Amino acid sequence: MLLYNVTLILEDAIAKEWLQWMQEIHIPEVLATGLFVSNRLLKVLDSPNEGVTYCAQYVAESQEDYDKYQEVYAPDLQAKLNQKFENKFVAYRTLMEFVTP
């Protein structure tokens, strides 16, 4: 099992709109790919950065599922995010492997 983590640092002015968009549009689109078995959205409380920081996390059962997501779906979904909130956020993406069940 793999955890795909996307950490986003948002300008304060877009945080509320971004959160609603994530919950109503983006996360459902990611899950509709059928390549992730679960997800969670977390707000970072002690971020050293200016703005508001969130982590969107998605669990994939295999490297193959993650790779397919990256090849087939991620470019379009990331483009939608970039277009809607252009120059108003910074994103860091990390892939992690579960060590304990």
What pLDDT shows up at residue 50?
86
Say what the pLDDT of residue 101 is: 67
Mean pLDDT of the chain: 95
* Residue range 59-76, pLDDT digits in tens: 999 999 999 999 999 999
What pLDDT does residue 100 have?
79
Q: What is the pLDDT of residue 27?
A: 97
- Which CATH number describes the domain made up of 2-97? 3.30.70.100
**pTM for the full model?**
0.92
pLDDT at 8: 96
Q: Is the dihedral of CA 38, 64, 95, 12 positive or negative?
A: negative
DSSP assignments along 26-50, one per residue: IHHHHHTTS--SEEEEEE-SS-SSS
- Which residue ranges of the chain lie beneath pLDDT 50? none
Locate the domains of the chain by residue range.
2-97
- At 77 the pLDDT is 96
